[in-house]
Structure 1
Amino acid sequence: MIVKNIAIKERMEHYNVPGLSMALIKNGQIDGTENYGLLEVGSDRKVTEHSIFNACSISKFLTGMLSIKLIEQGVLDLDTDVNGRLKAWSVAENNFTKNKKITLRHLLSHQSGLMDPVGSFAELNSSVGISMVDLLKGETPYCNAPIELQFEPENEFHYSDAGFCVVQQLIEEGMKKPFYQVAQELIFEPLGMANSHFPKTMLEVDKNKFSCGHNKSGALVKGKYPIYPYPAASGLWTTSLDLAALVIELMNALKGKSKLGISEKLANEMITPQKGKGWTGLGVFLEGTKKELEITSLGWGVGFQCMMVALPRIEQGAVIMTNAELGVHQMEGIIGEIYQSLMS
């Protein structure tokens, strides 16, 4: 048992959670996994350590790691105007760009001045494909208004899927490859994340391994497998073990032992408060300082909720994934109860 003082199965029943998977990190290594329940309510498909859940916005943590890897390679730059690298689409100049230009640092820390249009970034409509350029122009059903600055960069913090769509465009143009292929080659393969995917259609879902999504009553959501067609922001499907491997890679990079070739300097940049905002790093959120520094990434989408939490300076952490949309913030449901048990 890696979780003490909490009856997991009873709490899952209380919160109508059909399936749950978690991996614990201690001393910079996997310390154990626990897996409970079913991938699909009413079926006999049990959750195992190889079960794949929708990570939703934890995708942004992976995108942060991929971005700093590409900074190391010289493909991206953290502090130059992103328009200098964008060709197929660029941020429109307006009154908010007069004094400051958008940088990758702004995008990864949600301080770019880009805001998500109301009602945007829903799950995939299987009959409607997507071009990232069309989305940024406001010409898709997923975002019916052009993405443009709403305030001056660094002036305000606004959580933004749109900002990570711009990061995706930067990566795809810089590498001349689709985002999912870059992630596969530079992250998944080197770290052995064999159960991590960015499915583009339902046809790519392996129904033996992928979990279905469920609502707060524990019933299946429409379509069973909600896919978000903007991988850098929210498209990752993965296991708790694979996500834990990514957390451990960040911990190793902080010690100068990165498998991906990420420098200690850039790894530290990722978990440093950005532009005076103490709670946001690059692709992760922050709390505490020095040895007690805690980083988190939360995923919440149709049918799924999950959490990554780590204390990188003391090399501890956990990944908790559920296949139910609980209807409350992670810290107010079963994920929060597990977090409190692990971190107390």
Structure 2
Amino acid sequence: MLGTYRKALETPSAGLLRLRSSGVSVLLMLVVISAPAQEPAPAIQSRIARVEQGLSSRVVVKGAPGQKASIASRMAFHDVPAVSIALINDGQLEWARAYGVLDAAGQRAATPASLFQAGSISKTISALGALRMVEQGKLSLDAPANVQLSSWKIPDNRFTQQRPVTLRGLLNHSAGMNVHGFYGYAQGQPVPSLLQVLDGLPPANSEAVRVEATPGTGWRYSGGGYSVVQLMMTESAGRPFPELMQALVLGPLDMKDSTFALTLPPTWQERAASAHDSNGTPLAGGWHVYPQSAAAALWTTPTDLANVILDIQQAQSGKPGKVLSSAMTSTMLRRGQGEYGLGLYVEQIGDGTSFSHSGGTDGFRSQLYGYTHTGQGVVVMTNSDNGAALIDEILVSVAAEYGWPEFQITEKLALAPDPVANAMFAGNYTLAGKPAQVIAEGDRLYLQSELFAKRPMQLFAESKTRFFMTAQDMTVEFQQTAGGTPGSFLLKRGSSTYVATPAREPPSR
């Protein structure tokens, strides 16, 4: 099951990693740089070139050579067939570029008009639509949700008896709803109706959407909650969700290459990227289908999503927005529970606010990021399960070129490797209920955990027992042991700490 990520996830380090030579050579030869019809000025061309050559992990080893890399080389490293970027600067779309191929097997070149699944960025667009309906008087932010539903009601229980679910809570992920994310449905599989999804009935492959905590008392990401929003919107408007969203958001923002339709028209399918798993293999049928439209079904381009950033920036500045008023935009960007407003992650940055959302469906990863006070932003979309790591490296390069206050590079000093100590720490572990390995290879030490990355991540020593990783601020603290057997370790990532314990040996036969 795929959920959201606040910022892109782990980028593995070189060393133990080995790329498939055939796949890499094909990708590097076919990297395509596609531009809008009107080429940017030479000064902007130079900025684009520096972004393309300036990729880096967020954490680097102090004094290590070759800290910067090209988009082409990092696409090959991460097995990402295509990436598309739209860059906003000074309150306007400054440039758009696409790289690579839409299908690793078919070799269709990516262009800025290529379509990608946006995953959970769908929630941002859906929230815009719901808030517009609030301004139109068709929905209420704070009236009980069940008063605004007819064909299906949120089942009451001891949690809803204390406080009702509201649209505000659903959009903020503070309604106490379950179902983090959705699996989607492969081509040819039966696709459930929205009501079957809400009740977890076949052919739905997710559990029933229910309230599992008192609404308004905490933050809990819930794609299931956005499916309730979808039903509220369609019942109020009496229109199918794709048609409704076209009228509420996509049309007003001139998002001509965007749709919530579950089946793409044939001419759109020709421009659609195929999804790829972490091994670079295309998904059968090209992509999965998501009837949970408000949560995950948007097909779009970075250029279209850039229009969303620009409209939010304009409305927040006090000028009329094409979708929401300035007052409602401020409501959308005001934190409720967690780090979330209504449909967006928001963070106070100096005199303004950053707003963002990431997206992930099977075989696609994307990121939308904008600032209210600087007129800057970016949208990056990829067609690979490995896309999050590449996106993070692109954000570092963009931030360095355009003077962003975030995504700065941190240098850390690494001690000389100790092969004897590395061998003592190596072994099989259980990390957050999942198998993990610590691998010693020569004088290098690696952590393999699919919780963070498919490939092994190199560990760099800060002390005899404490190690850091590149790409983000993750550290591992090993417990000292006697007799050379692995002990437990603590993995710290941001404000979260995970405990890893030695895995039990499989029983002998």
Same fold, TM-score > 0.5, yes or no? yes
Shift of residue 236, structure 1, vs aligned partner: 0.4
Higher RCO by CA contacts (8 Å cutoff, separation 6 or greater): 1
Judging changes above 3 Å, is the alpha-carbon distance between structure 1 residues 202 and 244 closer, same or farther for their aligned structure 2 residues?
A: closer
Correspondence for 1:325: 385
Shift of residue 259, structure 1, vs aligned partner: 4.4
Contact 2:88 2:94 in 1 (8 A): yes
Of 314, 339, 344, the residue aligned with 2:395 is 339
Per-residue CA deviations over 1:125-177 (Å, capped at 9, x if unaligned) read 43413221222122133345432211100222111110000000010011001
Judging changes above 3 Å, is the alpha-carbon distance between structure 1 residues 207 and 55 closer, same or farther for their aligned structure 2 residues?
A: same
Correspondence for 1:207: 269
The one-letter code sitting in structure 2 at the alignment partner of 1:103 is: T
Correspondence for 2:243: 181
Aligned-pair Cα RMSD in Å: 1.8
Correspondence 1:61 to 2:134: no
The one-letter code sitting in structure 2 at the alignment partner of 1:124 is: Y
Q: How does 1:110-149 map to 2 (within 5 A)?
A: 110-116=173-179, 121-125=182-186, 126-143=188-205, 145-149=207-211
The structure that is strand-richer by fraction is 2
Shift of residue 290, structure 1, vs aligned partner: 4.9
Correspondence for 1:303: 363
Of 89, 103, 111, the residue aligned with 2:166 is 103
Distance 2:390 2:352 in 1: 24
SS in 2 for 1:24: strand
Per-residue CA deviations over 1:73-121 (Å, capped at 9, x if unaligned) read 011111111111100111111110122111111101111111118xx72
Judging changes above 3 Å, is the alpha-carbon distance between structure 1 residues 206 and 104 closer, same or farther for their aligned structure 2 residues?
A: same
Judging changes above 3 Å, is the alpha-carbon distance between structure 1 residues 215 and 104 closer, same or farther for their aligned structure 2 residues?
A: same
**Unmatched 5+ stretches in structure 1:** none
Q: How does 1:83-102 map to 2 (within 5 A)?
A: 83-102=146-165
The one-letter code sitting in structure 2 at the alignment partner of 1:341 is: S
**Unmatched 5+ stretches in structure 2:** 1-44, 56-69, 401-509
SS in 2 for 1:293: strand
Judging changes above 3 Å, is the alpha-carbon distance between structure 1 residues 190 and 85 closer, same or farther for their aligned structure 2 residues?
A: same
The one-letter code sitting in structure 2 at the alignment partner of 1:343 is: A
Runs of 4 or more off by more than 6 Å in structure 1?
none
Shift of residue 313, structure 1, vs aligned partner: 2.0
Moved more, 163-172 or 199-208: 199-208
Correspondence 1:73 to 2:130: no
Correspondence for 2:428: none
Distance 1:39 1:215 in 2: 13
Correspondence 1:26 to 2:86: no
Per-residue CA deviations over 1:40-62 (Å, capped at 9, x if unaligned) read 11323111111000101110110
The one-letter code sitting in structure 2 at the alignment partner of 1:122 is: Y
Distance 2:237 2:254 in 1: 21
The one-letter code sitting in structure 2 at the alignment partner of 1:179 is: F
Correspondence for 1:314: 374
Of 242, 250, 264, the residue aligned with 2:326 is 264
Correspondence 1:240 to 2:316: no
TM norm structure 1:
0.92
Distance 1:54 1:150 in 2: 29
Of 206, 214, 220, the residue aligned with 1:152 is 214
The aligned length equals 336
The one-letter code sitting in structure 2 at the alignment partner of 1:130 is: P
The structure that is helix-richer by fraction is 1
SS in 1 for 2:197: helix
SS in 2 for 1:56: coil
The one-letter code sitting in structure 2 at the alignment partner of 1:228 is: Y
Correspondence for 2:345: 285
Contact 1:213 1:304 in 2 (8 A): yes
The one-letter code sitting in structure 2 at the alignment partner of 1:336 is: D
Higher alpha-carbon Rg: 2
Per-residue CA deviations over 1:207-226 (Å, capped at 9, x if unaligned) read 32100011122121222122
SS in 1 for 2:141: coil
Moved more, 243-252 or 15-24: 243-252
Distance 1:200 1:229 in 2: 7
Correspondence for 1:294: 354
